[in-house]
Structure formats: C-alpha cells, structure tokens
Amino acid sequence: MSRWVQSLIRISDYEVQTLQKRLAEIVGRRVDAEMRIVMLEAESEAEARHAAADVEAGFMQLGFTHAVRMRKAEIQLTIDALLVEEAGARDALSVAFEDLKRYEHVAEAQKVKAAKLEQQRETAALDELGLRRPRQGPG
C-alpha cells in the first residue's frame, strides 16, 4: 500500500477522533445546561411550596419566579446555540468519516491490485519454468 494512502488514512482517522471528542464535549455541555433547567424547575417548585406555607416567603415569590424565568431563558438560549453547534459537529464528523472510509476503500483496492499483480507474476514465472524444462518423450 502506498505511503500517501496510509498517511491519508492516519490523518483522516485523527480528524474523526478529534471531531468525536468535540461532539462529546458539546453534547456534555448541552446536557449540563438541560440539567440546570431541571434543577431550576425543581428549585422553583420547592420555593412555591415554601411560599404557600410562609406568608413572608409568599411576598418574595413574585421576584423569585421572575428571576427563575430570566435564568431559564438564558440557559435556553445557551441550549439553542449548543444544538446548532452540535448539528454542525455531527455534519463535520459525518463528512470526516465518509472521507476515512473512502481512503480505506482506496487502500483496500490497492492491496487487491497488488495481490493480483503478484499472482500474475508468479503464474508467468511458473509458465516460463514450464517452457524451459526439457520435454521428456514418451518413454
């Protein structure tokens, strides 16, 4: 197999691995942001129960609810941006993986071609030996 094909495969494989790590990091950040929203909702529910039981907390409930909505909106914007980034990373990974498979296919085709040529050389060498061998008569 040609060195250039091996180099392309190594480079392409490295690119696929790098893009996989990048995608995993983006997904991790998105999951963390989604978890923060879940935690805010749980905190909001707990505060609502506390406000129902305590009159003073009830007065502050409106401000707390407003702050929670603002924080959720900020986090949702982050999630939306991460979803776009994730889609781009998935597309880039898909293209890199297709390139890797294409290079591997070229390498495999070169191996098959080299094996076929080697077999033809062996056959030609054996034919040559057969032609040079002195013919023995019928006995």
Cα–chain-centroid distance for residue 70? 34
What is the CA 43 to chain-centroid distance, rounded? 35
- In order, the DSSP letters of 5-62 are HHHHHHHHHHHHHHHHHHHHHHHHHHHHHHHHHHHHHHHHHHHHHHHHH-HHHHHHHH
pLDDT in tens, 28-75: 999 999 999 999 999 999 888 888 888 777 778 888 889 999 999 999
Domains in the chain: boundaries = 3-104
- State the Cα–Cα distance between residues 35 and 117, nearest whole angstrom: 60
pTM assigned to the model: 0.73
